Amino acid sequence: MPETRIIDSLGEVGRDQWAALFPGELEDYDYLLAVERSGLEGFRWRYLLVIEGDRLLAAGVAFITEYPLETTLGGAGRRLAASLRRVFPDALTLRLACLGSPCTEKALYGFAPQATPGERQALLRALLAGLEDLARRERCGLLGVKDVLAADRPLWDAVGVPRGYRAIPSLPIAGLRVDFADLDSYLARLTPSARKDMRRKLRAREQVRIEIRDNVDDQIDRIMALYAETRARADMAFEDLTPAYFQGVLGGMPGRAFCVLYFQGDDLLAINLMLAGRDTLLDKFFCMDAERGRPFNLYFLSWFTNVGLCIERGLGHYQAGQAAYRNKLRLGSELTRTANYFRHRNVLVNGALKLVAPLLAADPTLRDAA
């Protein structure tokens, strides 16, 4: 009979056992271990395991944090939340137990490859029972599941909705199919106005030095300054990354993680942290000195640099992450929708959250990609 366990460190699971449940996953065992060891303030990591004998049948990444509800609000909703917080400072912060990670692009849960659709439903119920047990132990009122892919919604609706979970739109994931031979062929696919604009913007390449590195220790202070500036400009910010995150990901994933650095003279103006897999290049974080980097069109230069790396390495997919959707759509990206699921252990609070759920939706494509 399978049992569900909750552990505090991924190091308690064998790498091969974990990898068998997540074949081809870019944000793999080594990435998650680097996140766990990076010392992100305000987060405690947990791992949910469904085990039968010595076999790992299912697993999921989870975390515990104090969650400000306005984290995913924008516009009028955020202003309203700010007003309420001035009167009721603690009312909009809930203790959260969540399946997923603030440092991954999607909810990370996996099943034994041989599991049938019916068995996957049973295993997902076991994972959710583990999450709910974790919430009780840690006195978390709010339970969540972060960034479920659209393709997985039928499974989650079948298992989660009967348990009281509600779905709200989350941030889509932008991706570009790299099925062209060179950058000229790619440019030819863009609209005439976009193609003309990109050719003009890319002239700045001659003024910028680009370095690809798997070690950035000599630049880490400058990188963190760029990250802090970029985070301050963001509409939504959940986690606050540390130097140990960048250094741990690079050090723990040799050959699969690297940074692209953009210099003007000896000054570092931007950095892009990347993960590379068998067929995908994943853009994790792009951090830039906005005032000094914008004249060199570094956002667009980095985009074409990354697409060029996909072509050179034979990678068929460039995953450009979340945010800046208007530019990404203009450059030919497609969006994969995601959803967050949530419920509150208190029936009355859960009912209230369902009423305000439309305000909590974190899908900005309705705003900046129209």
- pLDDT digits over 348-361, tens only? 887 877 776 666 66
Distances in Å between the Cα of 203 and the Cα atoms of 41, 273, 296, 353, 369 are 41, 23, 9, 50, 26
Asked if 278 and 258 sit in the same domain, the reply is yes
What are the structure tokens assigned to 183, written together?
Answer: 């950058």
CATH of the domain at 135: 3.40.630.30
Q: 129 and 180 share a domain?
A: no
Task: Judge contact between 262 and 271, C-beta under 8 A.
Answer: yes
Q: Which residues of the chain have pLDDT under 50?
A: 364-370
Distance of CA 101 to the CA centre of its chain: 7
Query: In whole angstroms, what is the distance from residue 49 CA to residue 295 CA?
Result: 49
* Residues of the domain holding 284: 174-335
pLDDT value for 111: 98
The answer to whether residues 145 and 255 belong to one domain is no
Q: Which two tokens stand for residue 347?
A: 């029936």
Separation between Cα atoms, residue 351 and residue 245, nearest integer Å: 38
Query: Do residues 119 and 258 both lie within one domain?
Result: no
Cβ-based neighbours of 175, under 8 Å, separated by 6 or more: 317, 318, 319, 320, 333, 334, 335, 336
At residue 189, the pLDDT reads: 96
In single-letter form, the type of residue at position 105 comes to E
d(CA 21, CA 36): 19
294 with 185, same domain: the answer is yes
Judge residue 144's burial from the number of C-beta atoms within 10 Å of its C-beta, 0-12 exposed, 13-18 middle, 19 or more buried.
buried
Q: Where are the alpha helices (DSSP H) in the chain?
A: 15-21, 29-36, 75-87, 117-137, 153-159, 183-189, 192-201, 220-233, 243-252, 290-293, 298-313, 325-330, 347-360, 365-368
Average pLDDT, the chain: 91
Q: What Å distances lie between residue 178 and 150, 207, 215, 321, CA to CA?
A: 22, 27, 27, 15
**Backbone CA torsion sign across 158, 161, 165, 166:** positive
What pLDDT is stored for residue 234 in this prediction? 77
Does residue 141 sit in the same domain as residue 230? no
CA nearest 58: which of 144, 148, 140, 131?
A: 131
pTM: 0.91
Percentage above 90 pLDDT, the chain? 80
312 and 362 inside one domain? no
Tell me how far apart the 2 most distant CA atoms of the chain are, in Å: 64
DSSP H helical ranges for 253-297: 290-293
Domain shared by 15 and 113, yes or no: yes
- Residue 298 contacts residue 270 (beta carbons within 8 Å): yes
For the chain, percent of residues with pLDDT exceeding 70: 89
Q: Are residues 22 and 122 in the same domain?
A: yes
For the chain, the domain total comes to 2
Q: What is the per-residue pLDDT across 42-88, written as a single tens digit (0 to 9) for each?
A: 999 999 999 999 999 999 999 999 988 766 555 555 666 666 666 55
Q: Looking at the structure, tell me whether residues 185 and 144 fall in a common domain.
A: no
What pLDDT sits at residue 322? 80
SS3 348: helix
Q: Same structural domain for residues 277 and 359?
A: no
Displacement of CA 231 from its chain's centroid (Å)? 14
**Residue 178 and residue 87 in one domain:** no
